[in-house]
Copies of this chain bind each other. A is one copy, B any other.
Amino acid sequence: MVIDVHTHIVPEHFPALGGRVAGDAWPYMDHIAPGEANVMISGRNFRTVVDRCWSVPRRLGDMPSEGTDQQVLSPMPELLAYNMSPTDCLELGKHLNETIARMISESPDKFYGLGAVPLQDPDLAAKELSAVKSMGLQGVEVLSNVNGENLGAAKYRGFFKEVERLGLAVFVHSQHPTFMDRVVGPEVLDNVLGFPIESGLAAASVITGGLLQDCPDLRICFSHGGGVFGLLLPRMEHVWSVRAPMREALAEAPSVTAKKLYYDDVFFDSRTLRYLLDMVGVSQVMVGSDYPFFMRHITPAKEFEELCLSQANAEAIASGNCLRFLGVS
């Protein structure tokens, strides 16, 4: 039994723009061929997608070759449009959440769901969480930064407290890297270099911002294995052990907090995954893929074999950790 915690959906259609203020930031699907559409955002084709993004039968058909049995559905991250007005973003999120709920209802033993909330307005986002839960979703997906602001910042504390109170899960997805002036080379580097650094910065900000101190029961997962976080951790730990300002700011060692966060295993290298397992523990890592945008490079079973995992550890990474993360018994 293998659950993929990191898969994305795009609705087949979006409601028409109507009277909203979003203007052409409001997405629409330009269906260019059967089962194929351009996701149009702000007047350009953000990405050409196929019906794997919205079709339950297509997804079920892919699972055997993916080596997975269940998927956690979350929106294509670009659709968490924090650049929109909060009310437009809320409405777009409701459509995403309804789409995910409907996909789950088509095959309830195959899917879980993480919805969208307008985190650029933390109070509005917090208020929407009850609706997300009542639709049967297990939590929300949020971006690694909110228009450049950090998840560990105080302004998001109330939102995360409400997430914790409702027993929901948070999946943090890398998006919109803010330091692309520091990259030289082909255009794909926002994804190649930006994503893992985004994920690392988000995980670090949660620790250094003290989020888990305020929300000890929060279940929060970082995409792409937490990105570079595993290489930030030893220096955080060393400085915490030798320098007063770090020790005064953080009640517990960063290595302890790191073992309370969750991470997917989207690394493309078993040595890298082994390193993460060594640093944060087998209990915090879950199978992921970025399906259907990045197809899995090896099946989870093959990956577990390369890592020489015990049966118990393989089962934890395959499903047990994910069920605990989602709050599903």
Residues on A lying within 8 angstroms of B by beta carbon are 145, 148, 150, 152-153, 178-179, 181-189, 191-193, 195-197, 200-201, 204-205, 208-210, 224-225, 227-232, 234-239, 243, 245-246, 248-250, 267-269, 271-272, 275, 278-279, 297
22 A–B contacts, CB within 8 A, in A order: A145-B182, A150-B182, A150-B184, A178-B179, A182-B205, A183-B204, A184-B205, A185-B249, A185-B250, A191-B239, A192-B239, A193-B204, A224-B235, A228-B231, A228-B232, A229-B231, A231-B231, A231-B272, A235-B267, A238-B297, A271-B275, A272-B275
- A179-B182, A183-B150 known; A188-B234 Cβ under 8 A: no
Residues of chain B within 8 A (CB-CB) of A197 are: 197, 200-201, 228, 232
Report which of B150, B237, B248, B249 forms a contact with A269, defined as CB distance below 8 A: B237
Report yes or no: A186 in contact with B248, Cβ–Cβ below 8 A. yes
Which of B152, B225, B268 is close to A184, meaning CB atoms less than 8 Å apart? B152
Q: Are B228 and A188 in contact (CB under 8 A)?
A: no
What is the CB-to-nearest-CB distance from A149 to chain B, in angstroms, rounded to a whole number?
Answer: 9
Query: Is there an interface contact between B239 and A188, defined as CB atoms closer than 8 Å?
Result: yes
Q: A181-B148, A192-B236, A271-B275 are in contact. Are A208 and B186 (CB under 8 A)?
A: yes
State whether A205 and B183 are in contact (beta carbons under 8 Å apart), knowing that A188-B245, A232-B193 are contacts in the complex: yes
B236/A208 in contact, CB under 8 A: no
Out of B148, B243, B297, name the residue touching A188 (CB < 8 Å): B243
B267 adjacent to A186 (CB under 8 Å): no
**Contact assessment for A267 and B234 in the assembled complex, using a CB-CB cutoff below 8 Å:** yes
**Which residue of chain B has the shortest Cβ distance to A191 in the bound complex?**
B239
Measured CB to CB, the closest approach of chain B to A101, in angstroms, equals: 32
Nearest B-chain residue to A229, judged by Cβ:
B231
The 7 closest A-B pairs by CB, nearest first: A185-B208, A228-B228, A234-B269, A238-B268, A184-B209, A186-B245, A186-B249
Smallest CB-CB separation from A206: which chain B residue? B184
Pick the contact of A178: B153, B182, B239, B246 (CB < 8 A): B182
Of A234, A243, A249, most buried by chain B (CB within 10 Å of CB) is A234
